[in-house]
Each structure stands twice: as structure tokens, then as C-alpha cells.
Amino acid sequence: MLATSVRGLLARVPKSGDGATIGTALAEHGVFGLMAPDAAGGLGLGLTDALAVATEAGRMQTPFPVIETIAAASLLSRVRPDAVAEILSGAAIATCATGGEAQISATAKGRARLRGSLTVAFADSARWLAVPVRRSDRNDPGPWATIVDLTGLGPSISAAPELDLTYPMYRVELDYGVEAADVIEHELQPMLAVLAAAELTGAAEHCLDATVKYLKERVQFGKVIGSNQALRHVVADDWVRVQGMHAASEYAAAAFDAARNTSGSRLPTEAFRHAAHVAKAYCSSAAREVAEHAIQLHGGIGFTWEFGLHVPLRRILRLGSSLGTSADHLDTLAAEMLRRDKSNCGA
Amino acid sequence: MDIRFTPEQERYRAEVRAWIEKNLPRPANGNPFRGPDDEDDNARFQKEWERKLYDAGYSGVAWPRAYGGQGLTFVEHYIVQEELGRVAAPEGINSIGRELVGPIMLAIGTEEQKRHYIPRLLRLDDVWCQGFSEPNAGSDLASVQTHAVRDGAHWLITGQKVWTSYARYSNFCILLARTDREALKHKGITLFLMPMDLRGITIKPLKQITGRSEFNEVFLDDVRVADSLRLGAVNDGWRVANGVLGFERATTRLYRQARFANELRALIALLERSGSRRLAEDAGFRRRLAAVHVEIEVLRYHNLKVVSRIANGATIGPEASLQKLAWSEAHQKLADLAVDILGEDFANGEAAEPFRDIYLQSRAETIYAGTSEIQRNIIADRVLGLPR
């Protein structure tokens, strides 16, 4: 039901609208506070619920950092609970770093230095930036994250080349002091990867639906082209891919929620991180195949700017290349498998 | 998606695991389980193993107690399947009985049939084979030519069946035969429970590309079958078989997911033992390994979705074709990886025997129980609503 109402809402949001209008409309529906705790004015729901929103944002190619804001709000509620209200109301935008790297090193007592070179969506209009970080001051691998206020600190922000026309990306160079206490253990990166997997699922399903519709309408050789087995089999496989994408992102979200529910405030388990790698690896490549088939099966019209299939394709390419590519996640999984095999020797 | 099991279900899983650990002879080298090479020995071994499972209460897990089942839920059934798959336990010789005859019987059998046949198939008193496919009715199953003609309280059945697994070791066959040659092809077919010791039945083994002979041709020449051995109404066989086949396609291969994961672990272990550097040195192979792992994981997620749907009383629709396509193609990718990564050892290495077998066997998996192409047609027709 959440998915249906969000779908309706996102369909009404003007695609060309400015960030503020879209942000306010989404905020009114409580979308940004989905994962923020009740105490901070959020809905206190799980990643499974956020997933439904992310899928719809992908389906509609919503020109707003929806998943970044949801994830950043959950982090912000732990680091700066007093600042959550302006995100939930839509008065300020919170975004996340989805590419590049950032490091925390210890300086004076209680202080630390955050250095990074990051890729960030909507950095020019956002106030808060959530950043997954590595720590050189601690052995504990975390994962760690922090959130910084972009106002008045003058980090260098420059526009990145524009692939996804619905999603302005920026390069952000950070080098400044933060409170050590503001760097916390948080699953920001895998959480974003799962939300991105859901967006990829929505965008791919949008492409598949458009293709199936077209195959039922387009007539060549005196019959609708959807009766050709060569084409029917391609879309049948794409349907299988989309079902796999749904299953992979839903499972990862459920793993996150399950770990949170059973262990109170404890961090989600390895099982969630593993599932996040699986989901992002699978969805990044499957979505691209579905979008490429959509263009092929639409024929010439699919290659036109006007028809618009490049919009979800570009979104899919952008999402696929951020938060770890398919190959990156496969490399991590392979390393895990080989390590596990060594430790289980003879079992 | 419900991905968690209750503490009771986890306890049940631990019991099942402990029982299997104690009762299944496992190959010492960590390879997937493999039965005796001799066909007769293998059939005997498989039968004994299935009987053992039944005695321990791990067969007919979700079937009613009145018919010899355990009266538990589909979730416990799934747990048993997953644990069996996890150690690549033998799949048994009576899978047609457990996975096809039992469910059809439960759905449409008479009370008398249920009480008689279901406990017998669970106890391995009856081993079943499947008489569906024919030389001219493969993918186009509804065009079966084998025909049954009324003869008082009996039917006289004549024709030829093919790809009949374990026919030589079966004492019953669930048979599709044409009972009305005038009707539309889907509407003139009836299901029979045919004893395999009747006069007029000839069985000829077929050798498969694996070198084994589980398949057979079955020739029927005026075989006299009593009308009481009819299952369901006359001319209603296609509808019945089709309905149950869908459910079965979605559920009966649940254990394969866990078995494939076992095989992938065995492949890594084999490479380690043989001192192969391919995984260590080649990122391409590592990625393919992980990609196969990802597909097998996604298969598990699909399984969990199906299990929670069934546990919540929902019906199974096109998931059936999805499952069939997904598991059979994932297994072929695993097999292809084994061929490429084992290199020369795949062809000549002693220790690679299980993977030669897996590779060859996996060629059948995208063919039987509805080819991949037929599954894609079903999806295009019934899910996507595309014109034919």
C-alpha cells in the first residue's frame, strides 16, 4: 500500500519541477522520515518500507535524491537529532556520497580530520552530506559514516559530467575538522547499495512494461510484433530478471530489518552485508540488460531522444556505476567465498 | 519477504541436520554425494535411503497424517529439502511418486485411493514412473497418441511412452492416455494408475549422454487396466495433470538450490586440493565464481518467496516457470564454470568426475519438465499477455 501511494505521488510530481517543489511534496507524505526513529519525528520503519519508495523513484525516474535523503536522515537522527526536522519537512535537503573515498584521521583529542574526494548527487542544493568513511585512527573496520553540514564550510563543489539527466552529480573535495564523536558505526554504504538496487529494479521494470506494451501495439508484416517468438523470449527472460531483482533487493532489506529487530540497537549482521553485495551485483547488470533490450525491441523509435527510453537507461547506468559496480561487488563476494573455503578446510 | 524461521523451526532444522549427518554415508573427499555406479545397486541404494528418510519422519512432511504423512507445514517440508540439498543427498528413486503422484492424488484422488496409494508410495512399497512423454508428444504434450479403449470394467491401452525414468524399478506408472479421439486434443485425455507387471508392457532402457540408463522406452500393447485404476474423471486428465505440474515445478526442486551451493563449494575445494592457481590469479574466473554464487543466492530468495506464499495459503502461478528456468539455467552456468576453470583436469582428472557428471546431467535439466523455451512461452502468454 505504501508503494501504491508513493507511486501515485511520484507520478504527480512534475519531472521538470525544481528540487524544492518535489522535496516539499515528498516531505508532506513523510517519505524522508521513513527510517528515522519516532523520537526524531520519523516513522521508525525498516529498510523494507524504504525499498518500496526507492523502487517507485526508479520507476518514475524522480529527479530528487530520494534514497539519499532517506538514508541520510537515518544517520542524521543519530548524529544531529535536532537537525532532522528540517529534512523531514523538506526545508533542507540531505544527500549522500555515492562514489569516491573519504578517510578519517585522528587529530587533537576529540577531534578528527575528514579528507575525501567524493561524488555526490544534488550537492549544490543540499545542506547535509552523509559520507561513508574509512578510519585510519581505529582498527575496527566498522563500517563507519559521518555527516557534515555543507553550509559555510566552503568545500569545493564542482559539477560532474552529466549522464543521468534527472540527477545532477557533483565532485566534492572535503578537508576539514570534525568532532570525533560524529563519526559513528553505521551501515550507510550497504543501505544505499540496497536502495540503489531497488531503484534499478523500478527503472528496469518501467523499461520492461514499456517494451511489452509496444510489442502488443506495433504491427509489421501484417501482425503485432509481439507474436514473434524471438522477441517473446527476450522479454520473458527480462521478466525473469526483474523478478530476480525484486527478490534480491527485498531479501537484502529483510536481512537488514531482521538483524535490527532481533538484536535491538546492535548493528546488522554479516548476512545483511552479504545480501547487499548480492543485490547490487545482480541488479546493476540485470537492469542494464533489460534497458538495452527495451531500446533494441522498440526499434528506431527507441533510439530517439523524444521517445525517452534513454532516461531510464541513463539512470540505470548511473546507479550501476555508483556504490560499487557489479564487478566490485562480485570481487568482494569472491574474496569472501575463498576466505570461507580456507577457514572451512576439510569440513 | 519473510526470511526468518521461528525458534521451533530452527530446532527442527537442527534435528534434521543431525539425523542426516548420522545416516548418510558421505564421500570422504568432500565431493557431492554419488551413488553406486551399477544401475541395479544404485536403484537399491536409492530405495533404501528413501525408506530410511520415511522411517525417520522426513518424507511426506506436509502431508496429512491420515495418509502416512507427518502433518507438518510446508515450512518444515522446505527445511528438510534444504538440509538434504545442503549435503547433496541422493534424490531417490521414487521422486515421481512423492512429487507428482502424491500431490495429484491428494488433489483429486478418491478417499480410497488416497488411503491406499499415498502410504504405500511413502513406504516405498510402490515405486512410480511417469508415462507422459511420447516420441511425438514432447513439448507438445497434449498430442499424446497412446490410446485407451473401454472394454467393460477395463480399458485396453496401446501406444509408446519415452523418457520414462526408473521404469524398470517401478511397479506403477502414472499414465496419460487418449480416451476420446474426436475431442479437441486437450480434452480427450485421461490419467491412469497402471501396474507395471501387466501383460503387454515392454521396457527398453535408453542410454543417456551421461552413460547411465535411468531413461526407458515403454511399449504398451493392449494392456488391460481396470477402470478402478483411473485417476479423476474420464477426459479430464490434461486439466488435472497441468494444474498439479505447475505447483510441482515451483516446489519440488527447492532442495536443488542448496545442492548447487554444495557443488560450488566442492568445486572451490577441488581447485584448492589440486593446487590450481586459476582462482588466485585470474580475476575473470573469480567474478564468474561470484556471479554463479549470486544466481544461486537469488534462487534461494525465490524459494523463500514461494515458501512464504504457500505457507500463507496463496496459490502458485507463473512462479513455476520462473523457478524452472532459473534453477536449470543457474546449474548450467555452474557446470560451464567447472568446465572452464578445471581446464585439462575437467577432461582427464580423476577427481573431476563429479563435475563431468554435473555438466552432462545439466544438459537435460533445461529440457525435461518443460524446456526453457516452453517456460518462456508460458511466461510470454500467461504473465505478459503477449499474442501468440
Q: B387 and chain A: CB distance < 8 Å anywhere?
A: yes
User: What is the rounded CA–CA span in Å between residue A129 and residue A151?
Assistant: 10
Mean of the pLDDT values across residues B23-42? 78
pLDDT at position B291 over 80? yes
Q: What's the average model confidence in pLDDT over B313-323? A: 84
Torsion-angle region of A221 (φ positive above 0: left; ψ -120 to 50: alpha; else: beta): left
Give residue A115's pLDDT band: very low, low, confident or very high (50, 70, 90): very high
pLDDT, residue B19, reads: 97
Report the residue from B268, B301, B302 with minimal CB separation from A341: B268
pLDDT of residue A108: 82
Q: Which of B192, B342, B201, B352 has its CA nearest to residue B276? A: B342
- Whether the CB of B87 is below 8 Å from some CB of chain A: the reply is no
Q: What is the pLDDT of residue A347?
A: 35
Closest to B188 in 3D by CA, of B174, B197, B178, B176: B178
pLDDT at A225 over 70: yes
pLDDT, residue A5, reads 78
Q: Is the pLDDT of residue B230 over 90?
A: yes
Instruction: Supply the pLDDT for residue A346.
Output: 38
Q: Does B277 touch chain A (CB under 8 A)?
A: no
Q: Is the pLDDT of residue B28 over 70?
A: no
CB B65 within 8 A of CB B71: yes
Mean pLDDT on A210-223: 98
CA-to-CA dists, residue A102 to A46, A115, A132, A329, B109, angstroms: 27, 6, 7, 19, 66
* Preceding amide of A143 cis, omega within 30: yes
For the cut 90, the answer to whether the pLDDT of residue A284 exceeds it is yes
Q: What does the pLDDT read at residue A1?
A: 59
Measured between CA atoms, the residue of chain A closest to residue B285 is A334
The C-alpha atoms of residue A215 and residue A210 are separated, in whole angstroms, by 9
Site from B139, B376, B378 to mutate, A interface, most A CB atoms within 10 angstroms: B376
B326–A contact, CB cutoff 8 A = yes
Looking at the complex, report in whole angstroms how far the Cα of residue B233 sits from the nearest Cα belonging to chain A: 34
Burial of B260 (0-12, 13-18, 19+ CB in 10 A): buried
pLDDT tens string B269-285? 999 999 999 999 999 99
Q: What pTM was computed for the model?
A: 0.94
pLDDT of residue A139: 78
Which residue's entry shows cell 523451526?
B9
Residue range B111-138: average pLDDT? 96
- The whole-number average pLDDT for the span A112-140 is 91
Order of strands across the sheet with A144-149?
A: A156-159, A169-179, A111-121, A94-106, A128-135, A144-149, A184-185
Indicate whether A344 pLDDT > 80: no
Nearest alpha-carbon partner for B363 in B332, B324, B327: B332
- Catalytic, B99? Answer no
Contact A232 B322 (CB under 8 A): no
pLDDT of residue B55: 97
Q: Average per-residue pLDDT in chain B?
A: 92
Chain A positions touching B295 (Cβ under 8 A) are 282
A193 CB within 8 Å of a chain B CB: no
Give the ipTM of the model, two decimals please: 0.94
- Whether pLDDT at A144 is above 60: yes
Give B26→chain A minimum CA distance, Å. Answer: 12
Compute the nearest-CA separation of A338 from chain B (Å): 8
Q: Is the pLDDT of residue A16 over 70?
A: no
In this complex, the residue of A232, A337, A342 whose CB is nearest that of residue B293 is A337
Q: Do B304 and A251 touch (CB under 8 A)?
A: yes
Q: What is the DSSP letter of B171?
A: S
The verdict on a CB contact (< 8 Å) between A341 and B1 is no
Q: What average pLDDT does this structure show over B219-223?
A: 98
Looking at chain A, the whole-number percentage of residues with pLDDT higher than 90 is 74
The share of chain B scoring above pLDDT 70, in percent, equals 97
Residue type, A191: M
Task: Average the pLDDT over A124-138 and give the result.
Answer: 91
* Interchain contact, A337 vs B294, CB within 8 Å: no
Q: Is B373 an 8 Å CB contact of chain A? A: yes
HEC states along chain A? CHHHHHHHHHHHCCCCCCHHHHHHHHHHCCHHHCCCCHHHCCCCCCHHHHHHHHHHHHHHCCCCCHHHHHHHHHHHHHHCHHHHHHHHCCCCCEEEEEEEEEEEEECCCCEEEEEEEEEEECCCCCCEEEEEEEECCCCCCCCEEEEEECCCCCCEEEECCCCCCCCCEEEEEEEEEEEHHHCEECCHHHHHHHHHHHHHHHHHHHHHHHHHHHHHHCEECCEEHHHCHHHHHHHHHHHHHHHHHHHHHHHHHHHHHHHHHHCCCCCCCHHHHHHHHHHHHHHHHHHHHHHHHHHHHHHHHHHCCCCCCHHHHHHHHHHHHCCCCHHHHHHHHHHHHHHHHHHCCCC
A45: pLDDT strictly greater than 50: yes
Q: Is A337 on the interface with B (CB under 8 A)?
A: yes
| B246 confidence band (pLDDT: 50, 70, 90) | confident
Judge whether residue A14 has pLDDT over 70: no
Cα–Cα distance between B231 and B124 in angstroms, integer? 20
pLDDT for A264 equals 45
**Residue A343 pLDDT:** 61
Interface test with B, best of A211, A233, A325 (most B CBs within 10 A): A233
Please, what is the Cα angle at B282 between B279 and B286, to 5 degrees?
Answer: 55
Average pLDDT of B100-110? 90
Q: How far is B219 from chain A (nearest CA, A)?
A: 35
Cβ neighbours around B311 below 10 Å, total: 15
**Residues in B touching A46 (Cβ below 8 Å):** none
Contacts of A223 in chain B (CB under 8 A): 387
What single letter denotes the amino acid at residue B170?
Answer: S
The mean per-residue pLDDT over the stretch B202-220 comes to: 95
Residues of chain A with Cβ-Cβ distance to B304 below 8 Å are 251
Residue A152 vs residue A84, higher pLDDT? A84
Mean of per-residue pLDDT scores for chain A: 90
Element housing B374 (H / E) = helix B372-378
Asked if the C-beta of B386 comes within 8 angstroms of chain A's C-beta atoms, the answer is: yes
Min mean pLDDT across A78-82, A299-303, A334-338, B253-257 is at B253-257
Size of interface A-B (CB pairs under 8 A): 118
| Mutation target among A48, A220, A232, A328 for the B interface, most CBs of B within 10 A | A232
| pLDDT digit string, tens, across residues A318-330 | 999 999 999 999 9
Q: Which of B4, B322, B386 sits opposite A226 (nearest CB)?
A: B386
Smallest CA–CA distance from B324 into chain A, residue: A240
The catalytic position among B76, B214, B248, B319 is B248
Judged by DSSP in three states, B186 sits in coil
Neighbours of B264 (CB within 10 A): 19
Q: Which of A212, A262, A346 minimises the CB distance to B384?
A: A212
Confidence of residue A186 (pLDDT cuts 50, 70, 90): very high
* B138 lies within 8 A of chain A by CB: no
| pLDDT given at position B163 | 94
